[in-house]
Amino acid sequence: MGEFKVHRVRFFDYMPSGIRALAFNGDTERMAVARMDGSVEIFHCSDRFFQEKIIPGREQCGIEGLSWVGERLFSAGLNGGITEYDLTNQKVKYTIDAYKIPWYTFLVGCEDGTVKLFEVNEDKIQFERNLDRQKSRIVSLSWHTSGSKIAAGMMDMIQIFNVETGHSIHRMLADRGVGTSRSKECVVWSVVYLSDGTIVSGDSVGMVKLWDDQTGTLIKSHNVTKCDVLALSVSQNEDSLVAGTSEGTVVQFQFVSMVLGKDDKEWVRTRTFKNHTHDIRAVAEITTAVVSGGMDAQLVVKPLLDKIEVRSAASALRKIHFPHRRLVFCARNSGLMLFQYPGHLELWRLGESEGKGSSLFVKRNPEKLLHLKVKGEDHIRCSAVSPCGEWIVYSTASSLRLYRLHYQRFLFLFFQISKLPKVLSSANQLCFSSDSSHLFSASTQSSVHIVSLSQSGCKFVGTLKPKSGSHQAIHLLAASEDGEWLASANSDHEVHIYNLQTRKAHCTVPVYSSAVTAMGIHPTTNCLFMMYADQQMCEYSIEQKQYTDWSRTVQRKGLHRLWMERDTPCLNVMFNPQNPSHVILHDTYMLCIIDQSLPLPDDKTQFYNQLTLKSLTEDQRKSHSHAFKVCKTFKDILCVELISDQSLVVVERPLEDVATQLPAPIKQKKFAT
């Protein structure tokens, strides 16, 4: 497989933020996820749940609800505003201040007991009118499909409103449960209004209740937990319902006939899933799965096997713990690492070791050199450190900051470049050239600005624009080692290659149905190697403007089943200068070296064959070897980078360390205790 000295880094204390809201768009197969730090993420459900867009949060900006209107996305938060997002450029489009009243759902319940109606216009949303004000705060809301009625969950009750008149037409009292103190309110955390007039509620007593909107009476109650039922979601055809609880369980109900051959149906509890350790704040039932998220910060996709016709990698349980973007960057020529947190950056110097063997003596410990706090309230969107280690850059949605670093014996200095070209107002992605002489800044409409760097500062050189005219934001940049080429990938699945000498578009890689998750340009051949969300890979010759013979072989023979069934995307592509046939990849769970000089494995071949090869003679190894060498020594990987001294930097964030920093979960009684 090849031997490397490894810097195993576990001092990046990245902490994912809890999930507060989910919203599924069935027309586009997109899932919007709102986190407690105010960030919003867009996952492509039919592309292996790849996280294709991230809109960073802001300080003191919590989100309580999300809603799709066509392909437009809105959120409402405790700061008293409704926000619409610019999904093309991945930023906030505008926020309307709703009279300083905290909102708990988008359609739109307020803490003062009012329900507000807003009209969605082409450019903005506009306040229309209020429904009758209630004495209790509005906690949850749901429209009837006719648009004529609204169900509102409140303290100790559910109200049904006539939208045309604005008056309440039914008030249904929520039972506080047997043995519950009269002084303790029953909070109706979630309501769902079904097309047949049934209202489903989930409350703080642990009940899922079904109500008749015509008579305002209770149809049936299901006691699903001794804790709270915090979230509800119904399938598109209303034959399945899921409830998320504060003890980390998801309970499914199905609308089924109790007697074979008869049409009489009722809601029956059928399944319970336990994939979370903490409160589940949001659930969404999509076409073939239940998606849930909460305080433990993981997005869980639980397939519903009765809705899946063909078993495949897409039908496996999926847990998404970390972003599908890089948060760690290495200055490969100077042994420095840049850690990106939401509100600050940290620059570290790697430690040094000496000796030989699997365990080396630590000669110098890692050292934190810089803690750079973001200016303003916006969180960091992207950042980078130059290969020489003398430049740091970061961007929020509203500003870009560039810093120059200076080392003088034992003294470390840094200062901000105050005069930046006007085009560097913000960036979606940032990248330095291999010789650290230029900065590439991905801007709007898939364009890339080029800035030259020198001791005196920086200077605008030019802008690269794609011929396709795409407006989608760039999420990946890759520069060639010789300074000749730059590749960019955007959310339209387009990969554009530019000639940096002429500063013009050179060619476009044929568009593939899946998103590019990682890419790199080979330092010797100048071939672009790309990894996709569906685990496919390809190699494209920049100079010949076509796929390489090796890439065509991959497409013709296919990749091994175990490779294709992996559930996390590759996040980096590297090359070993000492062995040009080696391509190094990694995802969250493994490190892989692909030896392009060896044959591809088929499904009959033993894929994970490292231990087997060690037991064979040299001659036998040749007949059993194949191109994929997989290492699973490391776990919960955030970054792998090959630096100039031919050592690997592997940054891990063990999930057990994340768990220790989470708030305590709901205490559950264990058997025999």
pLDDT at 326: 95
Residue 53, pLDDT above cutoff 50: yes
Whether 559 is covered by a domain: the verdict is no
pLDDT at 2: 61
How far does Cα 275 stand from its chain's mean position?
Answer: 18
Whether 344 is covered by a domain: the verdict is no
Classify 537 as helix, strand or coil: strand
User: What is the pLDDT confidence band of residue 671, given thresholds at 50, 70 and 90?
Assistant: very low
Q: Identity (one letter) of the amino acid at 128? A: E
Residue 101, pLDDT above cutoff 90: no
User: What is the pLDDT confidence band of residue 129, given thresholds at 50, 70 and 90?
Assistant: confident
Q: What percent of the chain has pLDDT over 90?
A: 73
Instruction: Compute the average pLDDT of residues 500-527.
Output: 97
Residue 138, pLDDT above cutoff 80: yes
Whether 394 is covered by a domain: the verdict is no
CB 586, CB 544: distance < 8 Å: no
Please identify, among 97, 119, 143, the residue that sits at the C-terminal boundary of a domain: 97
Rounded-to-integer distance, Cα 628 and Cα 200, Å: 51
**Are 131 and 204 within one domain?**
yes
Residue 424, pLDDT above cutoff 60: yes
**Are 188 and 201 within one domain?**
yes
- Of 74-78, 340-344, 357-361, where does the model show the most confidence? 340-344
**Are 134 and 25 within one domain?**
no
**Are 104 and 198 within one domain?**
yes
Pick from 642, 588, 641: which is nearest to 14 by CA? 588
Which tops the pLDDT comparison, 607 or 311? 607
What would the pLDDT profile of 589-609 be if each residue is shown by its tens digit? 999 999 999 999 998 888 887
Pick from 80, 117, 113: which is nearest to 95 by CA? 80
Residue 361, pLDDT above cutoff 70: no
User: What is the pLDDT confidence band of residue 52, given thresholds at 50, 70 and 90?
Assistant: very high
**Are 114 and 204 within one domain?**
yes
Which tops the pLDDT comparison, 153 or 610? 153
pTM of the model as a whole: 0.94
**Are 91 and 105 within one domain?**
no
**Are 128 and 206 within one domain?**
yes
**Are 274 and 216 within one domain?**
no
The CATH number that applies at residue 58 is: 2.110.10.10
Q: Cα separations (Å) of 84 from 71, 242, 490, 602?
A: 11, 28, 22, 48
CB 303, CB 322: distance < 8 Å: no
Structural domain including 256 reads 242-320
Q: What is the dihedral of CA 165, 166, 171, 175, to 10 degrees?
A: 150
Cβ count near 510 (within 10 Å):
12
Which tops the pLDDT comparison, 44 or 101? 44
Residue 166, pLDDT above cutoff 60: yes
pLDDT at 518: 98
Residue 485, pLDDT above cutoff 60: yes
Tally of structural domains, the chain: 3
Whether 37 is covered by a domain: the verdict is yes
Which tops the pLDDT comparison, 300 or 108? 300
**Are 209 and 262 within one domain?**
no
Whether 88 is covered by a domain: the verdict is yes
**Are 151 and 132 within one domain?**
yes
What would the pLDDT profile of 245-297 be if each residue is shown by its tens digit? 999 999 999 999 887 777 788 999 999 999 999 999 999 999 889 999 999 99
Whether 1 is covered by a domain: the verdict is no
Whether 578 is covered by a domain: the verdict is no
Whether 7 is covered by a domain: the verdict is no
Average pLDDT of the residues of the chain? 90
**Are 142 and 258 within one domain?**
no
The CATH number that applies at residue 119 is: 2.130.10.10
Please list, residue by residue across 431-465, b when 16 or more beta carbons sit within 10 angstroms of its beta carbon and e when fewer do.
bbbbebebbbbbbbebbbbbbebeeeebeeeeebb
What would the pLDDT profile of 405-418 be if each residue is shown by its tens digit? 988 767 788 899 99
Please identify, among 273, 299, 320, the residue that sits at the C-terminal boundary of a domain: 320
**Are 46 and 154 within one domain?**
no
Please identify, among 66, 97, 128, the residue that sits at the C-terminal boundary of a domain: 97
Cβ count near 177 (within 10 Å):
16
